[in-house]
């Protein structure tokens, strides 16, 4: 089974080609991705625990949803598509910031992503796809901060980078 292609980009997020997802991670090539963070009206953030058999970072806790844009697909469309597929709901999303990061994993794969971060608010039921998500929970921003200090190895690499920025944005806006 071949995985869908990812969009290869340069450091300015300009497309330079496409490549099958696993190959891009094996070669560690910079590609476009997105991370969705969802909070509820109480300011608690919805986290997911990645399914144990994911190709990397299996069993780790992270933001609500993350994935890759398909060739020809803009970031908002991709984010709404994957939020519905992974978590079983959709909600309005706003792109807040982007960042690049590189992380090498023990299995030989490398995440080298230009990551677009989106934020949404949602208060309804969550029905995650068990093939993607092992568990989910809502935590306050302070509970997440405490968790990151007490158990940093339980969270994905990109979550450690994106969470402080998104939390600062949420708090500045007055949702915590």
Distances, alpha carbon 32 to alpha carbons 96, 98, 172, in Å: 16, 10, 27
| 91 belongs to the catalytic site | no
Query: What is the dihedral angle through the alpha carbons of 74, 79, 84, 85, rounded to the nearest 10 degrees?
Result: 80
**176 vs 173: CA distance, rounded Å:** 8
Q: How far is CA 41 from the centre of its chain?
A: 21
Burial class (CB in 10 A: 0-12, 13-18, 19+), 1: exposed
| 113 belongs to the catalytic site | yes
Active site residue: 65, 66, 86, 111, which one? 66
Active site residue: 65, 86, 111, 113, which one? 113
Catalytic residues: 66, 113
């Amino acid at each position: 089974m071949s995985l869908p292609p990812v969009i290869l980009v340069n450091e300015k997020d300009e497309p330079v080609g496409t490549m099958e997802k696993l190959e891009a991670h094996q070669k560690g090539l910079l590609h476009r991705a997105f991370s969705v963070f969802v909070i509820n009206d109480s300011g608690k953030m919805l986290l997911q625990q990645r399914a144990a058999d994911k190709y990397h970072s299996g069993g780790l806790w992270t933001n609500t949803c993350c994935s890759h844009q398909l060739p020809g697909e803009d970031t908002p469309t991709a984010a709404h598509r994957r939020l519905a597929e992974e978590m079983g709901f959709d909600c309005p999303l706003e792109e807040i910031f982007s960042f690049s990061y590189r992380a090498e994993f023990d299995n030989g794969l490398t995440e080298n992503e230009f990551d677009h971060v989106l934020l949404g608010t949602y208060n309804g039921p969550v029905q995650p796809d068990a093939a993607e998500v092992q568990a989910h929970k809502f935590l306050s921003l302070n509970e997440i901060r405490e968790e990151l200090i007490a158990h940093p190895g339980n969270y994905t690499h990109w979550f450690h980078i994106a969470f402080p920025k998104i939390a600062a944005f949420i708090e500045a806006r007055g949702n915590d």
